[in-house]
Copies of this chain bind each other. A is one copy, B any other.
Amino acid sequence: MNKVQNTATATLENLYRIFTVSETSDSTLGVIDQEISANLADFLRTRIVAQEKNLADIEEDFSTATIPEQPQFVSDYTEFLLEKLVAQSVHTTAPGFIGHMAAPLPYFMLPLSKIMIALNQNLVKIETSKAFTPLERQVLAMLHQLVYQRDEPYYQQWMHDRNHSLGAFCSGGTIANVTALWAARNQLFAATEDFAGITNLGLSAAMQQRGYRGLAVLISRRGHYSFGKAIDLLGIGRDNLIAIDTDEHYRIDTEQLRQRCKQLQGAGIKVMAIIGIAGTTETGNIDPLDTLADIAEEYGCHYHVDAAWGGPTLFSDTYRPLLKGIERADSVTIDAHKQLYVPMGAGMVLFKNNTALDHIEHHAEYIIRRGSKDLGSHTLEGSRPGMAMLVHAGFFIIGRRGYEILIDNNIEKTKQFAAMIEQHPDFELIVKPELNILAYRFVPAAVQLSLLLPGRERRETINNELDQITRTLQKSQRAAGKSFVSRTSLNPSKYQGDKIAVFRVVLANPLTNTEHLQAILVEQRTLARSAELAPQMAKLEELTQTGDEPDPTLR
């Protein structure tokens, strides 16, 4: 239908058309466009096939390496896409999908995204973004104020200042974290009277000039893997990203951190940065940010807080105190495509000091000239889309109070789910939620008792069987397509640091309710009785046929 408008013959005339015509409402693509506008949730529910197709089969649909010689009708391509791609994508925001850090999108994000893409501005310079530049600066200032609470005159002075930047808008938290450590490294080795600075001379020269025997960045064992990439990229080396143990709540052990800093300093190794986490990726915990600020001050190092996940908790009057001390951080990462409910591809890093980004400032001849207001002079990335517009829309349409309600509701629901798991005889809560993340596993009631019996060896054997069950259950549930929890490994203090596989749950979807949560537990319990898991279940039963007394050292 309506193929005349398309380009199935490659001629200049036909190509002109695809840059001038628009799809009409009766074309395949037009129908889909309207379907999304009419009801996003319905589109996702009906167009994504629930049953999982084998990956190898999907790969076959995307396996020719040659770019087709001739053009294809838009409608034919759209039909291919619906059947082979859309149907086989993941409904990450279904209410029963509680394993991802993917947020569902408020309906207005779709048409607003379309405006953003239609305008196709490039935020690297004002010449290709005009009003988007002040808008992005405002978004950075608003989030800066949420974190640092500076007064209005401060923002009136710096928000639109041509030589400074309160932060950098990025494609995501990884680039934000990289930017923070890049600025920290360059500030540490800034130019002095007798040294032209690391920017010009590089890290080896900088280390020699300062006489450091090494550099170190310290973070808890629960730190995000992006810091491993960052420290590799920056030339510092992964061995110098020092992992500090956590306490029983997966928060950094500040005593160990302090000891380690002292030890490093004694060995001539400069502590470049300490990283605190506000919302660990796997367990949703918050480091003692205030104490970390004290330690960073003590050692005169950069203090970065990775609040990619937990940052928006600052919207909540009830839970904001959990992040006390974040306002003392030199830099803070917050992802917009997580708890600000913005589509994929938006993160920010904010700096306490409006001159911090000077250390990575750069210019060129044809754009981002010195003294221009071009945003590109303070970002790692070059050409960038106007995603800040969607953050701006969220701030205005949802409002501080709206975000607060969402945050509070998510945390309270997670606490309810934790209670449901604790009350259920066949599940074991592994991570009690501090924010809206928790971890648990399936452990038949009798086995839970056996885990309390003395004898490390038997406990390990049981945990090994349980690990297999957790892995299989998670896979089967994903394959069944009704719901989804993710999976990771943790070493809870309860089992003296033994590594166990667990289900990880992230509750960020306001549409997830207790019935969805109940259904997930029911489904897991049913799947555990499947033929596939019979050997493990039998083995477990065997292992629990003992009459010993529980180990008093375990709780």
Q: Is A496 an interface residue (CB 8 A)?
A: no
**Chain B residues with CB below 8 A from A205, complex form:** 237
Question: A127 to B335, alpha carbons, bound, how many Å?
Answer: 20
> Is A449 an interface residue, CB under 8 A from the partner?
no
Tell me the bound Cα distance from A135 to B113 in angstroms.
Answer: 23
Residues of B close to A337: CB separation below 8 A: 383
Q: Using an 8 Å CB-CB cutoff, how does the interface string of A494-527 with B read, 1 for contact, 0 for none?
A: 0000000000100001110000000000000000
Taking A55-B373, A65-B138, A397-B74 as contacts, is the C-beta distance between A233 and B380 under 8 angstroms?
Answer: yes
Asked whether A10 is an interface residue with its Cβ less than 8 Å from the other chain, the reply is yes
Residues of B within 8 A of A138 (CB): 62-65
If A58-B131, A67-B400, A204-B207 are given as contacts, then 15 extra A-B residue pairs at C-beta distance below 8 Å, sorted by A number, are A10-B402, A15-B402, A58-B134, A61-B131, A67-B145, A68-B395, A85-B131, A87-B131, A88-B131, A100-B122, A173-B382, A200-B238, A225-B368, A229-B362, A229-B380
Minimum CB–CB distance for A417 against chain B, Å: 17
Are the CB atoms of B397 and A77 closer together than 8 Å?
yes
Find A10's partner among B196, B385, B399 (CB 8 Å cutoff).
B399
Interface segment out of the listed A33-41, A349-357, A454-462, A530-538: A33-41
Beta-carbon contact of B36 and A118 below 8 Å: yes
Asked if A67 contacts B395 (CB within 8 A), the reply is yes
Give the complex CA separation of A115 and B43 in angstroms.
10
Nearest neighbor of A71 in chain B, beta-carbon distance: B399
**Given known contacts A174-B382, A205-B237, A345-B171, A19 and B92 CB-to-CB distance under 8 angstroms:** no
Distance, CA A7 to CA B403, complexed state (A): 12
**A86 contacts partner chain B, Cβ-Cβ < 8 Å:** yes
State the CA gap A344–B130 with chains docked (Å): 16
Stretch from A102-110, A245-253, A421-429 at the B interface:
A102-110
Q: Which of B39, B127, B281, B360 contacts A232 (CB 8 A)?
A: B360
Determine how close the nearest CB of chain B comes to the CB of A547; give it in whole angstroms. 37
Given contacts A131-B89, A172-B382, A235-B203, contact A11 B122 (CB under 8 A): no
A84 within 8 Å of B (CB atoms):
yes
Evaluate contact between B39 and A22: CB separation under 8 angstroms. Answer: yes
Chain B hits for A281, CB < 8 A? 366
Q: Which residue of B lies closest to A490 (CB)?
A: B365
A108 to B226, CA, bound (A): 35
Decide: A137 and B172 in contact? CB cutoff 8 A.
Answer: no
On chain B, the residues within 8 Å of A101 by CB distance are 383
A146 shortest CB reach to chain B, Å: 6
- Answer whether residue A261 sits at the interface, using C-beta atoms and an 8 A cutoff: no
Is the CB of A69 closer than 8 A to any CB of chain B?
yes
Contact between chains at B130 and A88 (CB < 8 Å)? yes
